[in-house]
Amino acid sequence: MADFKVHLSNKAPWQQLQPDGKMGILQTKMDELIPGDPLSVQERFLKLEHPLSDIDQSVSRKYVRRMFIFDFPDLSQGRKNDTAIALRRGLEVAFKHYPFLTGTVGPGRDLIRNDVVQLRYGDTPDLRAVTTDIFKIRTHPRDEFGNSYRQLCVKRMPVSHLSKEKYCAAPEFKNSDWRPAFTLQANFLEDINGGGLILCFAFQQSIADGTSIKLFLDKFAAGCRGDIGPQDEITEYQAKTLEYMIPGVRQFVPSMITPEWDFDIEQMPLKGPVTTGIFTMSAATIERLRNDCTVSLKATDPRFNENSFLSQTDCISALFWISILRSRCKRIANTPRHHNLNLSHFSTAVDARRYLPGPGADAFFGNMFTTAALRRPIGNFFQPTSDDHELPKITTALIATCAYHIRHALKGITPSSLGGRVAVLGELAHPLDATLAATKASKSETTGVRIDSLVAYGADLDFGIPGTGTGAGSENDGSPRFVRKPWLTTEGMVNILPRRKGTKGGADWEFLVCGRPNEMRNLVNELQQWTTFYVDDTNPSGPHSAEVEMERLRDHIYEEEVILEEQERLRREGLGETGRGEEQDDLDAEGEED
Q: Could you state, in order of their start, the residue ranges of all structural domains in the chain? A: 13-239, 275-357+371-381+390-465+479-585
Q: Give the closest residue to 323 by CA, choosing from 511, 527, 510, 521.
A: 527
The C-alpha angle with vertex 108 and arms to 416 and 420, in degrees rounded to 5, equals 10
pLDDT for the residue numbered 476: 55
Q: Is the pLDDT of residue 257 over 90?
A: no
Mean pLDDT of 456-466: 93
Percent of the chain at pLDDT exceeding 70:
80
The answer to whether residues 100 and 119 touch, using CB atoms and an 8 Å cutoff, is: yes
Q: Give the closest residue to 511 by CA, choosing from 329, 321, 272, 288.
A: 321
Read off the pLDDT band of 256 (50, 70, 90).
low
The answer to whether residues 373 and 409 touch, using CB atoms and an 8 Å cutoff, is: yes
pLDDT for the residue numbered 333: 86
Mean pLDDT of the chain: 84
**Which residue type sits at 65?**
R
Read off the pLDDT band of 99 (50, 70, 90).
very high
Q: How far is CA 572 from CA 297, 566, 575, in A?
A: 17, 10, 8
Name the CA dihedral angle for 223, 226, 231, 237, rounded to a multiple of 10 degrees: -30
Mean pLDDT of 516-535: 96
Handedness of CA 100, 106, 109, 113 (dihedral sign): positive
The answer to whether residues 52 and 165 touch, using CB atoms and an 8 Å cutoff, is: no
Q: Is the pLDDT of residue 419 over 90?
A: no
In the sheet that holds 369-377, the strands lie side by side as 369-377, 343-351, 448-453, 493-496, 509-515, 275-281, 533-536
pLDDT for the residue numbered 53: 94
Buried b (16+ CB within 10 A) or exposed e, 454-476: bbbbbbbbbbbbbbbeebbbeee
The answer to whether residues 481 and 470 touch, using CB atoms and an 8 Å cutoff, is: yes
In the chain, % helix, strand, coil (3-state, to 5) comes to: 35, 15, 50
* Correct CATH for 13-239 of 3.60.20.10, 1.20.1250.20, 3.30.559.10, 3.40.1400.10: 3.30.559.10
Considering the entire predicted model, what is its pTM? 0.87
| Phi–psi pair at 564, nearest 5 degrees | -60, -40
Q: Is the pLDDT of residue 297 over 80?
A: yes
pLDDT for the residue numbered 557: 32
pLDDT for the residue numbered 11: 43
Read off the pLDDT band of 162 (50, 70, 90).
very high
Mean pLDDT of 576-583: 38
Measured from the Cβ of residue 281, the count of other Cβ atoms closer than 10 Å reads: 22
Q: Which residues contact 109 (CB under 8 A, 6 or more apart)?
A: 116, 118
pLDDT for the residue numbered 442: 92
Mean pLDDT of 147-176: 88
Read off the pLDDT band of 25 (50, 70, 90).
low
Q: Pairing mode, if any, of strands 493-496 and 448-453?
A: parallel
3-state secondary structure of 53: coil
Q: Which residues contact 452 (CB under 8 A, 6 or more apart)?
A: 210, 348, 349, 493, 494, 495, 496, 587, 588, 589, 590, 591
Q: Is the pLDDT of residue 298 over 80?
A: yes
pLDDT for the residue numbered 268: 79
Beta bridge mates, 118? 106
The answer to whether residues 484 and 67 touch, using CB atoms and an 8 Å cutoff, is: yes
Distance separating alpha carbons of residues 280 and 118, to the nearest angstrom: 40
Beta bridge mates, 370? 350
CATH architecture of 275-357+371-381+390-465+479-585: 2-Layer Sandwich (3.30)
Read off the pLDDT band of 82 (50, 70, 90).
very high
H helices present in 428-513, as ranges: 433-442
pLDDT for the residue numbered 585: 47
Domain 13-239 matches domain 275-357+371-381+390-465+479-585 at the CATH topology level: yes
Distance separating alpha carbons of residues 420 and 152, to the nearest angstrom: 46
Q: Which residues contact 283 (CB under 8 A, 6 or more apart)?
A: 505, 506, 507, 508, 509, 559, 560, 563
pLDDT for the residue numbered 4: 40
**Which residue type sits at 405?**
H
